[in-house]
């Protein structure tokens, strides 16, 4: 049975003397109900409890822990018999034994001193120090109690006793009513607390108490009711711009839409902002209007995992960049899947972590768990984006930066500009994949000469969200040979060795990830030409009066392309005209006097003798020639005219 604990008692008396007035003013069960108290006592069955570390597990140690649970630790002290008379918290009461009395669950049982009874094969005696325990259930005859050190067992046991064994009970002032608080919970935002008016204008509901309607179409309900009262919430209706998505469960005081009041109960009706079911929009940091984009510049590790970090637009806002366009798809719980249009990846809190800050990424692994779903709430003229797996967190621009490329992450909720975003709906339609291009050989060379491949252009289908480039895939003798990327023209010159080739052209819309169409597959052979078949030739350099020309012949055998040349003889000057010029090229060959008067002293002596012109061969010799020449000279002298 209990033993004297003088040191502990002396210290406790000293403390109580110093704090006697405020202690007497305290009265509380720490918000616990009678049912809570019984559950607590039952939970200690079989445990060995030593509150003060003196004399092992005594009966008063269990009572001391019970006082602590009920928020009355200052009243602990003394042996068991001291509880017959010692001070009790304000509002608590003593109830003494009388015939026919029924004690109550949660009462502290205080036995009579020097009392003995039989417990199984052992006898228990209270002695002059008494005994205490906690009543679990009772009737007019007896009660069940949780007690420690009964029958010398230094641990908690549960035993039945007659009511007549008790000197009295100490009855805590357990609550006699509980609060039922029905309120609204918007977009994953924190609840305002029991009794708070957080319903605002999200919606209305009806409240039934013990089957009777007590509140119709109310925005908020907070009333006290007796323990054991039944309640039910019906006819929940969201206001315009919101949607009801069931009861929210945030902590252990939350309850469903119906139940029994065994403690203070909050029923949180979960509403979400209704921006629409499926729409496209740009998301921007509201105070700087800088768009959020999915980065396409990946580290090696991110490339392996298929991850992109979310960031403010690295090169500024661009209305034609799909990385800055997001699709919002509403889920059944009112959250949104937010999908990026560059590669259809989804916004994701990396690793479903709750640490802060944690990177927010876009990933093509759309597994649909809560770290990929977002509630949207109103905040300071904009919106807050809350991850469904961690509703005390929010989307955040790290350190509230406004610089291009700033990291976007998940952080604790706050009301700084770092967490206020605009969501601007847009009209958007992704263009169809590029039209296929057809590749052909426009010039086929022999080995190590020029071969030209050409392809038809893949027309642009959208002025904003379509941009074209081409990739040429080339195999040689069945194995990959060359890949030419980033081509913007529609032909390419290649120097190819002998072999059989296949060519395929891919038309790509570079505005999007992996968005392309493959064209036809063309097979051709580059080979030597053993027997040339020449065409009729083409004059590649025309002959002149004084220089030889060139004629070029090309082999007509497919794939050869060999050529040869031959010389075209010079044409020589023609007979001078009356002005002494070549009629073909206009070169001045001879003065008229020399042409018409071969006896001119400048002519060679042979021509002077014969009178023949060395260009035209005409003969003007003899006296007649001299006369003509003389006459011609006179005419020139007189009239300045030529013959």
Q: Which residues make Cβ contacts (< 8 Å) with residue 589, sequence separation at least 6?
A: 573, 576, 580, 581, 582, 615
Dihedral sign for Cα 523, 526, 528, 530, please: positive
- Claim to verify: residue 28 and residue 163 sit in the same structural domain: yes
Q: Which of 223, 240, 273 is the last residue of a domain?
A: 273
Give the 3-state DSSP-derived string for 179-241, with helices as H, strands as E and coil as C: EEEEEEEECCCCCCCCCCCCCCCCEEEEEEECCEEEEEEECCEEEEECCCCEEEEEEEEECCC
CATH value at residue 512:
2.60.40.10
| Kind of pairing between the strands at 265-273 and 178-186 | parallel
In this structure, the answer to whether residues 23 and 138 fall within a common structural domain is yes
pLDDT in tens, 69-83: 999 999 999 999 999
Q: Are 476 and 501 in contact (CB under 8 A)?
A: yes
Q: How confident is the model at residue 36 (pLDDT cuts 50, 70, 90)?
A: confident
Domain boundary among 273, 297, 331: 273
pLDDT, averaged across the chain = 84
Judge if 473 and 610 occupy the same domain. no
Statement to judge: residues 414 and 312 lie in one domain? yes
Question: Quick check: is 256 in a domain?
Answer: yes
Q: Does residue 27 have a pLDDT over 60?
A: no
Helices and strands, number each (H, E), in the chain? 8, 38
**3-state DSSP call for residue 293?**
strand
Alpha carbon distance 66, 37 (integer Å): 8
Q: Would residue 422 count as lying in a domain?
A: yes
Q: pLDDT class for 528, splitting at 50, 70, 90?
A: confident
Higher pLDDT, 598 or 406: 406
Domain identity same for 290 and 360: yes
Give the dihedral of Cα atoms 446, 448, 449, 451; nearest 10 deg. 80
Specify whether 185 is located in the same domain as 267: yes
DSSP, collapsed to helix, strand or coil, labels residue 127 as helix
Domain of residue 192 covers 178-273
Helix (H, G, I), strand (E, B) or coil at 72: coil
Residue 336: which CATH number?
2.80.10.50
pLDDT exceeding 90 applies to what percent of the chain?
A: 58
Q: What pLDDT was estimated at residue 16?
A: 36
Residues 475 and 559 in one domain: no
The CATH number of residue 209's host domain is 2.60.40
Does a structural domain hold residue 138? yes
Considering the domain architecture, whether residues 351 and 303 belong to the same structural domain is answered as yes
The answer, yes or no, to whether residue 24 has pLDDT greater than 70, is: no
Q: Taking a C-beta distance cutoff of 8 angstroms, is the pair 257, 216 a contact? A: no
Answer yes or no: is 241 within a domain: yes
Flag whether pLDDT at 595 surpasses 80. no
Q: For 320-338, what is the mean pLDDT?
A: 94
- Residue 176 CA to residue 167 CA, distance in Å, equals 26
| 153 lies in the same domain as 198 | no
Rounded-to-integer distance, Cα 582 and Cα 566, Å? 27
Is residue 93, in this structure, part of any structural domain at all?
A: yes
SS3 165: helix
- Which residues make Cβ contacts (< 8 Å) with residue 467, sequence separation at least 6? 460, 509, 510, 511
- Identify the pLDDT of residue 607: 42
Tally of structural domains, the chain:
6
- Per-residue pLDDT band at 558 (split at 50, 70, 90): low
Report if residue 434 sits inside a domain: no
pLDDT tens digits for range 342-365: 999 999 999 999 999 999 999 988
Give the model confidence (pLDDT) of 127-182 as tens digits: 899 999 999 999 999 999 999 998 889 999 999 999 999 999 999 998 778 889 88
What is the rounded CA–CA span in Å between residue 421 and residue 634? Answer: 108
* Boundary of a domain, candidates 403, 426, 449: 426
* Three-class SS state of 440: strand
Residue 345 lies in a domain: yes
pLDDT band, very low/low/confident/very high, at 596 (cuts 50, 70, 90)? low
Give the angle subtended at the CA of 73 by the CAs of 70 and 77, to the nearest 5°: 125
pLDDT digits (tens, 9 = 90+) for 104-130: 999 999 999 998 876 555 567 888 999
Burial of 372 (0-12, 13-18, 19+ CB in 10 A): buried
Q: Determine the Cα–Cα distance for residues 392 and 409; give it in Å rounded to an integer.
A: 14
CA distance 314 to 30: 55
Averaged pLDDT, 594-616: 53
CATH value at residue 29: 3.90.1720.10
Residue 250 pLDDT: 58
Is residue 532 assigned to a domain?
Answer: no
What pLDDT sits at residue 643? 38
Please indicate, yes or no, whether residues 260 and 392 belong to a single structural domain of this protein: no
Q: Say yes or no: 241 and 263 in one domain.
A: yes
pLDDT surpasses 80 at 34: yes
Q: Give the torsion sign (CA, 240, 246, 249, 252).
A: positive
> Which is higher by pLDDT, 279 or 590?
279
Residues 408 and 451 reside in one and the same domain: no
């Amino acid at each position: 049975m209990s033993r004297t604990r003088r040191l502990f008692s002396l210290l406790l008396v000293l403390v109580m003397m110093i704090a006697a007035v405020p202690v007497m003013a305290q009265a509380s069960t720490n918000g616990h109900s009678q049912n809570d108290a019984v559950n607590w006592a039952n939970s200690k069955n079989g445990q060995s409890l030593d509150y003060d570390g003196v004399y092992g597990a005594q009966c008063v140690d269990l009572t001391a822990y019970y006082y602590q649970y009920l928020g009355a630790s200052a009243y602990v002290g003394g042996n068991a018999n001291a509880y017959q008379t010692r001070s009790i918290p304000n509002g608590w009461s003593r109830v003494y034994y009388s015939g026919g009395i029924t004690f109550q669950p949660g009462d502290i049982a205080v036995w009579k001193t020097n009392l003995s009874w039989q417990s199984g094969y052992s006898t228990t005696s209270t002695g002059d120090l008494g005994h205490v325990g906690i009543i679990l259930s009772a009737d007019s005859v007896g009660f069940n109690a949780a007690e420690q050190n009964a029958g010398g067992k230094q641990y908690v046991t549960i035993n039945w006793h007659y009511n007549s064994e008790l000197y009295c009970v100490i009855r805590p002032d357990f609550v006699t009513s509980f609060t039922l608080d029905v309120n609204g919970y918007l977009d994953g935002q924190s609840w305002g607390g029991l009794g708070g008016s957080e319903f605002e204008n999200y919606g209305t509901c009806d409240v039934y108490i013990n089957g009777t309607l007590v509140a119709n179409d109310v925005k908020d309900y907070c009333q006290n009711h007796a323990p054991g009262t039944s309640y039910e919430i019906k006819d929940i209706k969201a206001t315009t711009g919101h949607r009801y998505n069931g009861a929210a469960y945030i902590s252990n005081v939350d309850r469903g839409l119906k139940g029994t009041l065994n403690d203070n109960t909050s029923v949180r009706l979960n509403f979400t902002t209704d921006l629409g079911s499926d729409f496209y929009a740009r998301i921007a940091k509201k105070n700087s209007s800088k768009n959020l984009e999915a980065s396409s510049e990946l580290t090696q590790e991110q490339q392996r995992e298929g991850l992109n970090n979310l960031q403010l637009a690295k090169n500024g806002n661009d209305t034609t960049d799909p990385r800055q366009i997001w699709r919002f798809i509403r889920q059944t719980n009112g959250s949104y899947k937010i999908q990026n249009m560059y590669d259809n990846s989804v916004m994701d809190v990396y690793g479903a972590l709750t640490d802060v800050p944690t990177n927010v990424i876009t990933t093509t692994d759309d597994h649909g768990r809560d770290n990929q779903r977002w509630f949207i709430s109103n905040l300071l003229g904009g919106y807050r984006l809350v991850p469904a797996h961690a509703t005390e967190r929010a989307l955040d621009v790290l350190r509230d930066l406004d610089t291009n490329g700033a990291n976007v992450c998940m952080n604790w909720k706050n009301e700084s500009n770092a967490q206020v975003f605009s969501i601007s709906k847009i009209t958007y339609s992704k263009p169809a994949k590029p039209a296929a291009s057809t590749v052909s050989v426009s010039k086929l060379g022999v080995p190590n000469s020029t071969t030209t491949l050409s392809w038809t252009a893949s027309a642009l289908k959208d002025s904003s969200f379509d941009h074209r480039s081409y990739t040429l895939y080339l195999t040689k003798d069945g194995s990959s040979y060359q890949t030419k990327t980033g081509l913007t023209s529609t032909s390419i010159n290649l120097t190819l060795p002998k072999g059989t080739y296949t060519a395929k052209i891919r038309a790509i819309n570079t505005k999007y990830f992996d968005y392309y169409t493959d064209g036809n597959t063309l097979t051709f052979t580059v080979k030597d030409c053993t027997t040339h078949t020449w065409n009729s030739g083409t004059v590649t350099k025309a002959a002149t009066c004084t220089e030889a020309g060139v004629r070029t012949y090309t082999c007509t055998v497919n794939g050869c392309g060999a050529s040869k040349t031959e010389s075209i003889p010079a044409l020589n000057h023609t007979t001078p005209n009356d002005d002494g010029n070549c009629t073909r090229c206009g070169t001045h060959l001879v003065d008229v006097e020399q042409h018409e008067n071969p006896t001119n002293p400048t002519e060679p002596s042979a021509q002077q003798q014969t009178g023949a012109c060395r260009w035209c061969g005409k003969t003007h010799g003899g006296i007649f020639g001299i006369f003509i020449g003389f006459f011609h000279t006179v005419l020139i002298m007189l009239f300045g005219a030529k013959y």
